[in-house]
């Protein structure tokens, strides 16, 4: 099976198993990908806070220490700076570290290690050294975690040349992108939308496969408007497209999957054809990644636009404790933005 044959998001479990795939949740797909990488390459090591015997705060690494031993799957002190710094050192010395940060909100103390060391190692050494590491971390809201457990900080890392940034929304993509990230030679920030960990279910092939970084997925073809998102918002984007279909509107739904690099060709081709674009993310609006997408759209396909490009995003406030449904871009806000573009 190739990346272009991947299934779309399945909101309901089918409980079916066949010769080529198994139905699993997004977090189960992460676990299986990690297990496969540990088995495939003895240089792969996994570490982070409580990832050993417990299996991590969301149990993504459950059972891996027992299977592969405490020298390859192990706990660290509560120090994100040390976790990231150790990962950089291991990568330089020839290992393939996959580090877990318990929540994306916690990466701050390790930011200098990422921005000043990991991201620049290939460039400052003239290509003599690379930094093949993956930082996995749960990201985004929707679990009533408040402002220290629900943020979407991916834009900080998109703004740092030398880092790759990925955020899957389906089990298939989670496994395929994680394998691709682990096998590359550059540092990858792998954001996992925690509210989809057990809500997103789908068929995942039993054989080894990768999903190439920098390739978007068209979840639904359409001709009237392009709805473009990534990560945790994707189920709501599809619900909005379904609601629009009920009103006779044909919406194309694109899942970016990878932010750095991102698939400009697929996005530009879609918007040049539909003439309208709504960009959806749950990150705060100011400075979020979709601002870059909007900028490229107006630079490259301005003459094809039939309406202004519209963003639907989180609000420019600290993430609230109890107002997830208001803060997140739900189907109602997405449909409202689409109608605004369609009636411009």
149 among known catalytic residues:
yes
Picking from 237, 162, 159, the residue whose alpha carbon sits closest to that of residue 193 is 237
Contact in structure between 263 and 271 (CB atoms under 8 Å): no
Place of tokens 């929540």: 103
169: left (phi over 0), alpha (psi -120 to 50) or beta: alpha
Tell me the angle at which helices 289-300 and 264-274 cross, rounded to the nearest 10 degrees.
60
Residue burial 237-252, b: 16+ Cβ < 10 Å; e: rest: bbbbbebbeeeebebb
Q: What is the four-CA torsion angle of 54, 60, 65, 71, rounded to 10 degrees?
A: -110
Give the tokens for residue 323: 């107002």
Q: Which of 147, 148, 149, 159 is catalytic?
A: 149
**CA dist., res. 190 & res. 271, Å (int):** 27
- Which active-site residues does the annotation give? 149
């Amino acid at each position: 099976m190739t990346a272009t044959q991947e299934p779309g998001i399945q909101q309901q479990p089918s409980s079916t198993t066949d010769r080529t795939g198994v139905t699993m949740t997004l977090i189960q797909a992460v676990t299986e990908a990690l297990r496969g990488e540990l088995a495939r390459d003895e240089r792969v090591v996994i570490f982070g806070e409580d990832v050993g015997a417990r299996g991590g705060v969301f149990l993504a690494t459950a059972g891996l220490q027992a299977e592969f031993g405490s020298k390859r799957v192990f706990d660290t002190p509560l120090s994100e700076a040390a976790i990231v710094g150790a990962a950089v050192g291991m990568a330089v010395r020839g290992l393939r570290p996959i580090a877990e940060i318990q929540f994306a909100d916690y990466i701050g103390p390790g930011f200098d290690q990422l921005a000043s060391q990991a991201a620049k190692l290939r460039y400052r050494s003239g290509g003599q050294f690379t930094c093949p590491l993956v930082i996995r971390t749960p990201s985004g809201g929707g679990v009533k975690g408040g402002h220290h457990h629900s943020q979407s900080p991916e834009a900080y890392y998109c703004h740092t040349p030398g880092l790759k940034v990925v955020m899957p929304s389906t089990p298939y993509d989670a496994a395929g992108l994680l394998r691709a990230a682990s096998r590359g030679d550059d540092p990858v920030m792998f954001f996992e939308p925690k509210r989809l960990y057990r809500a997103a279910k789908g068929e995942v092939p039993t054989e080894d496969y990768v999903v190439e970084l920098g390739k978007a997925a068209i979840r639904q073809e359409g001709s009237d408007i392009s709805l473009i998102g990534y990560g945790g918002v994707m189920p709501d984007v599809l619900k909005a497209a379904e609601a629009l279909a009920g009103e006779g509107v044909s919406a194309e739904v694109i899942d970016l999957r990878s932010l750095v690099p991102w698939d400009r060709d697929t996005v530009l081709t879609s918007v040049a054809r539909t003439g309208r674009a709504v960009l959806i993310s749950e990150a705060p609006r100011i400075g979020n990644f979709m601002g870059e997408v909007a900028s490229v759209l107006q630079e490259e396909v301005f003459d094809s636009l039939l309406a202004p490009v519209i963003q639907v995003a989180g609000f420019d406030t600290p993430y609230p404790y109890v107002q997830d449904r208001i803060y997140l871009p739900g189907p109602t806000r997405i449909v409202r933005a689409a109608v605004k573009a369609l009636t411009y």
